[in-house]
Amino acid sequence: MKVVLYGASGMIGSRILNELLARGHQVTAVVRNPDKVTASGAIVVKGDITDAASVAATAKGQDAAISAYAPPSAQVSLLQDATRSLLAGIEKAGVKRLLMVGGAGSLEVAPGVQLVDTPEFPAAWKAIALAHRDVLLSLKTSSLDWTYLSPAAFIQPGERTGSFRLGTTRLVVDEKGESRISAEDFAVAMVDELEKPRRLRQQFTAAY
Ligand SMILES: NC(=O)c1ccc[n+]([C@@H]2O[C@H](COP(=O)([O-])OP(=O)(O)OC[C@H]3O[C@@H](n4cnc5c(N)ncnc54)[C@H](OP(=O)(O)O)[C@@H]3O)[C@@H](O)[C@H]2O)c1
């Protein structure tokens, strides 16, 4: 498949890029700083997800778009701006399929209670979690074939095991009550969904 990947040099985006390339997809990797993309085999393009014209130009002719974009930590509201320009740009380019790396905060821990609204939720992550929740709302009002993949509560570089559980809108926790996934396995879940869409216009999550 021809896939444009925004945020391809990031902690999560670089794992998604590796997974896409390993499965033989033709990837256009979009970042502001191409030197940061270390994988070989992708078409690396300088672009800006916050600029709809740049998104339209980089998405043209692609079968699907994936965003692993992260805003600067001091300016998380850029996530909403970036989502607006991403949606406008890929629509202009005629790309219908969009997979988003989302946040875990919008996952429910009990019926009607989202993780971000619990008292234990770390204050430092609240703003970005709320911004990600807004992104999900924006997707729900778009006409795209979107999928929003929420990481587990904790995601970090690790092993590609290919063994994890999927959930929908509920936080998936292990027997210790912890919610974790490696960025490598998260990438497997993302590319599985790209290749065999089962969650069109839905949120889902992956964790051990
Ligand atoms: N448990 C959770 O809910 C959880 C945990 C971790 C991460 N996340 C979310 O997952 C996403 C990815 O996180 P991450 O840790 O992988 O981020 P990261 O390592 O900071 O990577 C961010 C990526 O975005 C790119 N980027 C930044 N500004 C851009 C722009 N204007 N145009 C195009 N690309 C741009 C960066 O490349 P350049 O700077 O070269 O452009 C980089 O490739 C984020 O949205 C984050 O909030 C969620």
Where exactly are the structural domains of the chain? 2-207
Strand partners, 110: 113
Atom of ligand 1 nearest to the CA of 79: 45
Helix H or strand E segment including 167: strand 165-167
To test the pocket of ligand 1, the residue of 28, 69, 80 to mutate (highest count of ligand atoms within 8 Å of its CB) is: 69
**40 Cβ closer than 6 Å to some ligand 1 atom:** no
pLDDT-based confidence at 102, cuts 50/70/90? Answer: very high
The pLDDT of residue 149 is 98
Q: Domain spanning 2-207: which superfamily?
A: NAD(P)-binding Rossmann-like Domain (3.40.50.720)
To test the pocket of ligand 1, the residue of 5, 31, 84, 156 to mutate (highest count of ligand atoms within 8 Å of its CB) is: 31
Atom of ligand 1 nearest to the CA of 103: 3
Please state, rounded to an integer, the average pLDDT across all residues of the chain. Answer: 97
pLDDT-based confidence at 86, cuts 50/70/90? Answer: very high
Integer Cα distance of 116 and 142 in angstroms: 24
Q: What are phi and psi of 54, to 5 degrees?
A: -65, -40
- Residue for token pair 């699907």: 64
Q: What is the mean pLDDT of residues 130-135?
A: 97
The pLDDT of residue 198 is 97
The pLDDT of residue 150 is 98
> Which structure tokens are listed for 178?
């912890």
**89 Cβ closer than 6 Å to some ligand 1 atom:** no
Closest residue to atom 5 of ligand 1, CA basis: 155
> Which structure tokens are listed for 186?
């998260």
Judge contact between 55 and 49, C-beta under 8 A. yes
Closest residue to atom 4 of ligand 1, CA basis: 103
- Sign, CA dihedral 97-71-105-133, equals negative
To test the pocket of ligand 1, the residue of 17, 32, 125, 155 to mutate (highest count of ligand atoms within 8 Å of its CB) is: 32
Integer Cα distance of 81 and 79 in angstroms: 5
Q: How far is CA 140 from the centre of its chain?
A: 15
pLDDT-based confidence at 18, cuts 50/70/90? Answer: very high
